Amino acid sequence: MRYQICSAVAAACIALSSCADKTVSQRTVFAMDTAFTIKGEDSDVSAAAELINELDRLFDRYSPESDIYAINERYSSNLSDYTRRIVSESLSLSEKYGNSVNILGGEITDLWNIAADEPVILSDEQIAAAVNHTENASFSVETMCFADELGSIDLGAVAKGFALDRIAEQLNGGYCIVSAGSSVLMYGKKPDGKPFSVAVRDPSDGSEVLGTLAAEECFLSTSGGYERFFELNGKRYIHIFDLGSGIPCETDLTSVTVVCSSGILSDFMSTLIFTGGSEKLGDYMDIPEISVIAVTEDKTVYVSADLDFTLSADSDYSIEVWNND
């Protein structure tokens, strides 16, 4: 058996280009299983770091002191407004766009435990039971309680994007960049007046750059199966799950990047599109709220027409511009 987990820092989907400005400070905070790097004015950087730590404390499903742990253990009370908001927004997104991404699927991610030292393949019976519990879980947004013992919340697909939304809300002008591994906030205007520049990683080689995106203020998230996975008997099992089948996702997309005006939406939709594969790509490329860069196994890069994306000069990928006409 060969086992590998790539860290969010060492193999991040996205790398931000630097922007020289002596008045800007930078700080890195480790939370939500990734490194948040914050770059901006001193007061904004400090406030963002405090907020990230607070949200990490509230959303850590394995900490007995967290809100999510309390909900999953069926004794939730006095929950934070942040917790109520992320749960409500996440379930609304699943209802609107599809349950392939569903925060109630925590039992499935727990059973697989991709990050374990010695991960194992689950039995058909274990998978079927976990899928049944996820599909039949009854959860009330009003009371923030499960109606029974079925279901468990896991915010992994949305927590970073939600955190970036809350950071953006409290910024006081100027400019700020927050990189959280596969999710990024680009806020305000750069001091040199130029667009932000984001290098999107090559999913076939995380150390290489697929291409560069030039963008104004926005949120951006990337999903792919090359960051966290294990291999057993020659087969790769990634950390993104098909909650309908209860197994790690199998898709012909190798990377999906979503750009939009909402952090939680970019986080949610990049995962949803990735799980759907190229067969369903058209369903999502035409959604007006988002712009997409989707990479297939045959090295075709589908790019929304409104994005300014340029492949690296030595790239062996080809671009197909997607028009919404």
Which tokens in the block code for residue 216? 């104004």
Calculate the alpha carbon distances from 281 to 10, 207, 277, 314 in Å.
29, 26, 7, 26
Q: Using a CB cutoff of 8 Å and minimum separation of 24, what contacts does 73-82 make?
A: 74/145, 74/146, 74/149, 76/144, 76/145, 79/144, 82/54, 82/55, 82/58, 82/166
| % residues pLDDT > 90 (the chain) | 58
Q: Which of the pair, 1 or 286, is modelled with greater confidence?
A: 286
Q: Show the tokens assigned to 256.
A: 């999906």
Q: Whole-model pTM?
A: 0.88
**Residue 10 scores a pLDDT above 50:** no
**Does residue 294 surpass a pLDDT of 70?**
yes
pLDDT of the residue at 32: 95
Residue 56 has pLDDT above 50, yes or no: yes
* Higher pLDDT, residue 219 or 74: 219
Query: CB–CB of 216/223 below 8 Å?
Result: no
**Predicted pLDDT at 226:** 58
Residues written for the chain: 325
**Domain segments of the chain as ranges:** 2-246
pLDDT greater than 60 at residue 234: yes
Q: Over range 85-104, report the average pLDDT.
A: 93
* pLDDT surpassing 80 at residue 200: yes
Tokens 């291409």 locate to: 211
Q: Provide the 8-state DSSP code for 119.
A: -
The two structure tokens encoding residue 171:
């910024």
Q: How confident is the model at residue 131 (pLDDT cuts 50, 70, 90)?
A: confident
| pLDDT at 300 exceeding the cut of 50 | yes
Average pLDDT of the chain is 85
* 298 vs 172 pLDDT, higher one: 298
Among 74-83, 196-205, 292-301, the range with the most confident prediction by mean pLDDT is 292-301
Highest CATH level, class, for 2-246? alpha beta
pLDDT over 90 at 260, yes or no: yes
Predicted confidence band at 3 (pLDDT cuts at 50, 70, 90)? very low
Tell me the pLDDT band of 225, cut-offs 50, 70 and 90.
Answer: low
In this prediction, residues 20-29 reach a mean pLDDT of: 76
Query: Do the strands 318-322 and 300-304 form a parallel or antiparallel pair, or are they unpaired?
Result: parallel
What is the C-alpha separation between 6 and 3, in angstroms, rounded?
10
Look at 59-63, 146-150, 286-290 and tell me which has the smallest mean pLDDT.
146-150
Pairing of strands 241-242, 247-248: antiparallel
Helix, strand, coil tally for the chain in percent (to 5) = 30, 35, 40
Q: How confident is the model at residue 238 (pLDDT cuts 50, 70, 90)?
A: low
What integer is the mean pLDDT of 201-218? Answer: 90
| pLDDT recorded at residue 314 | 87
33: left (phi over 0), alpha (psi -120 to 50) or beta: left
Three-state SS for 70? helix
- Report H helices in the chain: 42-59, 67-72, 81-97, 106-112, 124-136, 159-170, 263-276, 281-285
